[in-house]
Structure 1
Amino acid sequence: MASTGTECSGGPLKHRRSSGGCITCRIRRVKCDEKKPSCKRCTSTGRKCDGYPAPKPRLEAVSVVVMSSGSCSTPGACPAKSRQSFQMFSELYAPMLSSYGTDGFWTMVVLQASYVDESIKHLVIAASNLSSSNNVPFLAHYSRALQILSRSQNVDVIIILVACVLLTVCDDLQNRGDSARRHISAGERILAEQNGLSLGPWKDSFVLKEIMATFSRLCSPRPMISRVTYPPT
């Protein structure tokens, strides 16, 4: 008989401690019932429950990026045009777009988000094609990003905020001011609704600070961004 997913070779299954237990039960190395805000395993014995560790964020501003399998994790994993777009963005556009936010946001947060989220990857490629005489690549990637965002569920709030900024830039540089302002308003609404309470591990992070600083600058006057054209292929 074929083995099932609940069987394993080498003997009976051993109980695996839950990774979601409270800090106190983890230290004591006992099974936690994971009741919140305080587990009964602790309170029933008169112990103080130290609560639960915050979940690790999916995206952090660090030098090493863990890339998702759906993104271009190696140079050869992307089509040549997409690789060229990423290079254009990181080397030319990201430094210039600081007028739309902070250097850290464009050179670190956006690029790292593009490696862990498909919609951000498409928006980065779209933004890199804004100065191309051929408008088809921009429209294709911009539309694809909107499709992914509209169909996705339980999207990380940080990814949504990064997408709002990228959509704002794309629309602003296409002289669609009304649409750009709607994206800014949507992002500001999200930040106001979160109010720091449900941002979890992001609350005091570098990433969130860069995003908040970027939104504060989006309503300020910005210098014109010079036209950048693709090198000959």
Structure 2
Amino acid sequence: MTRNGISRVKTGCTTCKIRRVKCDEKRPCCSRCLSTGRRCDGYVSPPSGSHSWAQLLRSAPPQKTIALTRLNRDGSAAVDRAALFYHRVAAPALAGCLSKTFWTTAVAQVALQEPVAGHAVLALSSIFESFTEGIPGTMMTTTTTTTTTTTTTTFAAWHYGEALRLLRTTRDRALVLFVCVLFIAIELLRKNAAAVITHCRHGINILNETRAESGFLRKHVVPAMRQLSIVPFFFGADPKTFPLIDRPVFLSSSSSSSSPARFFASVAEAYESQMALYTRLVRFLQIGEEARLAKGHVGPEPDRRWTRKFLMIDMDRWHEAFRALKAGRGRHTGRDRTVLNLLEIRHIMGRVQIELFDSASERDYDAYVDDYRAVVDLTTEAAAAEEEEEEEGEVEKANAVHNPAGSPGPKRVSKVLTNDSVLEVDLSTLLYTVVAKCRCLRLRLVALKLMESLARPRENVWSRRITIVAARRLIEMEHDISLPDDLDEEDWGEEEEDGVLPPEERRVVNVKFPFGNAGKRGPLRNLCFYLRDPKDGHMITRSEWLSIEEPSGRGRG
């Protein structure tokens, strides 16, 4: 009696399933079909949510593009272009100096299997392209004059809307948090402060409520969320009510809270540990207090003095472990050493800020000239190393053109300090504090020149022309001078050596930048400079309209 045929093949191409034979599952076409002269009908995509996080991240990311054609409503050309742009341009730029895996690998792989992530990636890619071209993020919701811009913004808006729609029915919290990170990046590029704060708040609340933590969440999502959790404080979020990530920083070296120091196994560990400290520091600088008690404990919150002491102790522990890591220069690459310089600059500036938090006089900053000089030296060293790396890349590129057969191809030049990190606070922005608080003219002019050379407004969301304009005006006001468009070291005075510093009444305590559309008139911006009256200590406000246009004859570099 003939037995009824039963299909036992669960995977493989459509042709092998129909023939009920074992498929070798080679892609894009299986070898079994091709070797027998048959046509391979390809593979059926599994339903959304049928893969585990381990399965999603098991295979290597696509080498050329992300196959998201099924997500387009009008055809495949626009989707293929956006996917290719994300893979080749956006992902490396978003990755930053140490978060390469998340943006270049995890995002690409999850987008292939989850439509909600796929739509978010396509929207992110399109908006990132608009950002690099200098198109305002608000154009996504307005009528534009050019066909190209209209097409781009319509494409981004539709996929962003689809991602939001699908997210409402998504039950996997890890996937919700994953897409939330993409939404934060989108709104950062659009410079939509309210949406950034909202997405960050919801994401952190969901993360804190999630008890069962998967390896994917811990290794990929939490570090990315921690990196972006500091952003709302720069956009005016209330630090007293805004949530903090209730997750420890996982290090390969386990140490108790009573240990005097821990060691870092890698530069990435030092970076993630510093980001957690940096978030606490920014919050403290805004409100001067911190919730130190664990849930369920009874007792008063520590006051400002004790909060600062706790932070300084933790920062000293971090720096002790950092020095041990940096001492092993023999095992660090040139790129690692540049990143180590960046981390040390952040530590120095953070330490000065917290030590002078309650300062009653701007003269107190004069005692930290050596710290400012160290920041300028570290920046100069890192910038020189980066310039040398760029030159080597150009030489290798030229050699590859003349001898394509014998050369593996030019090395990709990754800029750590300028445009390699789109979402992180760049070094040009960090140098603003040196220019604003260091009153030695020669040193602050060196910092200003570095600040201008490293600024890339179209390659970093924090790098803005208005910051440089404010820094230049600060120097002019405090030293009662007029700076030329092009800074020439031969024209700088010897004020630092003479010890002649600006008087207290000319020193600027703080600068208020315009927020939103208020204080804007074409290329002009209204800045408020706050000075302290030496007689009674009250603040004096000085408002000025300054142009943010580039001087003629000067390039961005």
CA contact (8 A) 1:125 1:141 kept: yes
CA contact (8 A) 2:69 2:76 kept: no
Q: Do structure 1's residue 140 and structure 2's residue 343 form an aligned pair?
A: no
- 1 CA distance for matches of 2:164 and 2:185? 14
Counterparts in 2 of 1:58 and 1:118: CA distance versus 1, 3 Å: farther
User: Structure 1: which amino acid aligns with 2:188?
Assistant: D
Partner of 2:202 in structure 1? Answer: 186
1:206 Cα deviation (Å)?
A: 4.8
- 2 CA distance for matches of 1:100 and 1:186? 26
Partner of 1:61 in structure 2? Answer: 57
1:207 Cα deviation (Å)?
A: 5.3
- 2 CA distance for matches of 1:126 and 1:165? 13
Map Cα deviations across residues 44-72 of structure 1 (whole Å, 9 max, x no partner). Answer: xxxxxxxxxxx954654333479xxx954
Q: Do structure 1's residue 117 and structure 2's residue 114 form an aligned pair?
A: yes
Partner of 1:214 in structure 2? Answer: 224
CA contact (8 A) 1:101 1:217 kept: no
Q: Do structure 1's residue 91 and structure 2's residue 88 form an aligned pair?
A: yes
Partner of 2:191 in structure 1? Answer: 175
User: Structure 1: which amino acid aligns with 2:425?
Assistant: R
- 2 CA distance for matches of 1:100 and 1:146? 29
Partner of 1:165 in structure 2? Answer: 181
- 1 CA distance for matches of 2:89 and 2:164? 24
Map Cα deviations across residues 162-203 of structure 1 (whole Å, 9 max, x no partner). Answer: 1101111111111111211211121111221113xx23xx2x
Counterparts in 2 of 1:190 and 1:101: CA distance versus 1, 3 Å: farther
- 2 CA distance for matches of 1:216 and 1:143? 25
Tell me, what secondary structure is at the counterpart of 1:129? helix
- 2 CA distance for matches of 1:147 and 1:101? 32
Counterparts in 2 of 1:9 and 1:97: CA distance versus 1, 3 Å: same
Matches within 5 A, 1:74-85: 79-85=76-82
Q: Which runs of 5+ in 1 are unaligned?
A: 1-7, 12-54, 228-233
Tell me, what secondary structure is at the counterpart of 1:63? coil
Map Cα deviations across residues 86-122 of structure 1 (whole Å, 9 max, x no partner). Answer: 1110111111112498211101111111011111111
- 2 CA distance for matches of 1:173 and 1:127? 9
Tell me, what secondary structure is at the counterpart of 1:62? coil
The alignment's TM-score, normalised by the length of structure 2, stands at 0.27
CA contact (8 A) 1:123 1:141 kept: yes
Map Cα deviations across residues 1-33 of structure 1 (whole Å, 9 max, x no partner). Answer: xxxxxxx9479xxxxxxxxxxxxxxxxxxxxxx
Identity %: 22
Residues paired across the two proteins, number: 162
Tell me, what secondary structure is at the counterpart of 2:58? coil
- 2 CA distance for matches of 1:84 and 1:213? 29
The alignment's TM-score, normalised by the length of structure 1, stands at 0.60
Segment drifting more, 127-136 vs 208-217: 127-136
User: Structure 2: which amino acid aligns with 1:188?
Assistant: I
- 1 CA distance for matches of 2:93 and 2:5? 59
Q: Which has the larger share of strand? A: 2
User: Structure 2: which amino acid aligns with 1:222?
Assistant: V
Counterparts in 2 of 1:215 and 1:185: CA distance versus 1, 3 Å: same
- 2 CA distance for matches of 1:171 and 1:104? 21
Partner of 2:260 in structure 1? Answer: none
Rg larger in structure? 2
Counterparts in 2 of 1:59 and 1:176: CA distance versus 1, 3 Å: farther
RMSD: 3.1
- 1 CA distance for matches of 2:101 and 2:61? 15
1:159 Cα deviation (Å)?
A: 1.3
CA contact (8 A) 1:100 1:218 kept: no
CA contact (8 A) 2:68 2:79 kept: no
- 1 CA distance for matches of 2:216 and 2:167? 24
Counterparts in 2 of 1:118 and 1:165: CA distance versus 1, 3 Å: same
- 2 CA distance for matches of 1:169 and 1:101? 16
CA contact (8 A) 2:180 2:199 kept: yes
Q: Which runs of 5+ in 2 are unaligned?
A: 7-50, 131-148, 231-423, 427-456, 461-557
